[in-house]
């Protein structure tokens, strides 16, 4: 079939297998060019491994450290008439490249919140991998079923305490407009923390530890975004922010639990980037479009693979990691520097629908959005007839 992007609101409902392979190839080449990660991991579990920061983590572990990787994700398989989701094709490209270099890799496609999937992962680790020395938690989901009570919790993107009105970039209309969001109630805050907080991360590590599949000196990291003044009302000091605070609680609890094997849990704060999740958050498309312009002009812009490659080399496997007073690993310093934030603020008040192309990097934002789904690559022929039926050879049954 000829596969062209089908965009609905802030999501793309299809994906291009050749473009996704190109997306993965670029990241692999970046990591390999940087050379081996000194004292890097050897057996890695990545929960949320098929897109964004999770995919970049799997690529960095495998091609920077030669690690065996078990990837957990929840992706849509292809049919003869419909494409797979982008994460499926990303994983197929990763798998093919890893196989070519003799790197062990396996995947589980399913709901990472369930204890059944956790047990399946533990069985694979025990029988095929050896003890895990790094667990990456990079899960983004709108809802979660509690494995004990069976109750389903749903997250919301809302401010806390008072309603919030701000400018945003409506990407489907390509217009600057105002968006107003009512404050969350206590139950919405609670449910968002249950979905996006540290409870499932902690449950994963508890079960891995109980099964005896964690190595001495193992590390685990969960990813967060902290941001600054412009994004705090809808991100930091909002329902998502409360959930992210719970990651700090979970990190302390996991570190205490793993004390006997000198294990350590970190929260890593990363840069704002175009992801499937950030596209859905009010104001973030405008903020990111402005941020890209400012940071690209300065030459400090980084994407997922640059951030995660840096995290491994300057954070997780460094003797002098950049950390804040709360013990988080910080890779967002360039974005949050005072002069970058001031430049974004200055442009924020000036931009209109008519000046989107001159005052923001909307073109870069939109192209990066397309690349998440395998579109937007100039050297890929999007008029060519392509089969959507790309298999995964190493998927667990």
**Annotated binding site, which residues?**
48-53, 74-75, 111-112, 139-140, 225, 244, 273-275
Separation between Cα atoms, residue 289 and residue 333, nearest integer Å: 18
According to DSSP, the β-strands at 264-269 and 329-330 are parallel
- Would you list which residues are annotated within the binding site for substrate? 225
- Would you list which residues are annotated within the binding site for NAD(+)? 48-53, 74-75, 111-112, 139-140, 244, 273-275
Cβ count within 10 A of residue 269? 22
Are the beta carbons of 329 and 316 closer than 8 angstroms? yes
Dihedral angle sign, alpha carbons of residues 373, 299, 307, 357: negative
Query: Residue 264 pairs with which residues in a beta bridge?
Result: 219
Cβ count within 10 A of residue 178? 8
Q: Is 362 one of the annotated active-site residues of the chain? A: no
The greatest distance separating any two alpha carbons of the chain, rounded to the nearest whole angstrom, comes to 60
User: What is the residue-wise DSSP string for 60-85?
Assistant: HHHHHH--EEEEEE--PPP-SSSPPP
Are the beta carbons of 224 and 270 closer than 8 angstroms? yes
Of the listed 30, 89, 137, 235, which one is catalytic?
235
Beta strands in 121-196 (DSSP E): 132-137, 143-145, 152-154, 164-170, 175-181
Separation between Cα atoms, residue 298 and residue 292, nearest integer Å: 10
Residues marked as catalytic: 235
């Amino acid at each position: 079939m000829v596969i062209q992007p089908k965009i609905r609101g802030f999501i793309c409902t299809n994906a291009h297998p050749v473009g996704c392979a190109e997306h993965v190839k670029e990241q692999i080449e970046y990591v390999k060019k940087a050379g081996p990660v000194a004292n890097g991991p050897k057996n890695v579990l990545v929960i949320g491994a098929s897109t964004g920061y999770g995919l970049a983590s799997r690529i960095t572990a495998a091609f920077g450290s030669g690690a065996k990787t078990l990837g957990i994700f929840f992706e849509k398989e292809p049919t003869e008439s419909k494409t797979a989701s982008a994460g499926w094709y990303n994983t197929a490209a990763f798998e093919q490249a890893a196989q070519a270099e003799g790197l062990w890799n396996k995947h589980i496609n399913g709901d990472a919140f369930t204890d059944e999937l956790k047990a399946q992962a533990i069985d694979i680790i025990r029988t095929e991998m050896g003890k895990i020395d790094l667990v990456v938690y990079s899960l983004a989901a709108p809802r979660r079923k509690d494995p004990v009570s069976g109750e389903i919790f749903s997250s919301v993107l809302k401010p806390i305490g008072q309603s919030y009105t701000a400018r945003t970039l409506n990407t489907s209309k390509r217009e600057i407009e105002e968006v107003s969001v009512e404050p969350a109630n206590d139950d919405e805050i609670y449910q968002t923390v249950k979905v996006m907080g540290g409870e499932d991360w902690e449950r994963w590590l508890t079960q891995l530890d109980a099964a005896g599949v964690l190595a001495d000196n193992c590390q685990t990291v969960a990813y967060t975004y902290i941001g600054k003044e412009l994004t705090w009302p809808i991100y930091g000091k909002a329902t998502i922010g409360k959930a992210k605070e719970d990651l700090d609680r979970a990190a302390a609890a996991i570190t205490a639990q793993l004390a006997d094997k000198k294990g350590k849990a970190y929260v890593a704060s990363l840069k704002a980037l175009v992801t499937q999740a950030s596209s859905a958050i009010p104001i973030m498309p405008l903020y990111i479009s402005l941020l890209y312009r400012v940071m690209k002009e300065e030459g400090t812009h980084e994407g997922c693979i640059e951030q995660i490659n840096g995290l491994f080399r300057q954070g997780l496997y460094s003797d002098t990691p950049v950390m804040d007073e709360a013990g988080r690993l910080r890779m967002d310093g360039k974005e949050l520097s005072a002069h970058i934030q001031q430049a974004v603020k200055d442009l924020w008040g000036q931009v209109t629908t008519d000046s989107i192309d001159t005052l923001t990097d909307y073109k870069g934002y939109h192209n990066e959005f397309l690349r998440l789904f395998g579109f937007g690559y100039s050297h890929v022929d999007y008029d060519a007839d392509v089969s959507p039926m790309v298999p995964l050879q190493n998927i667990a049954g």
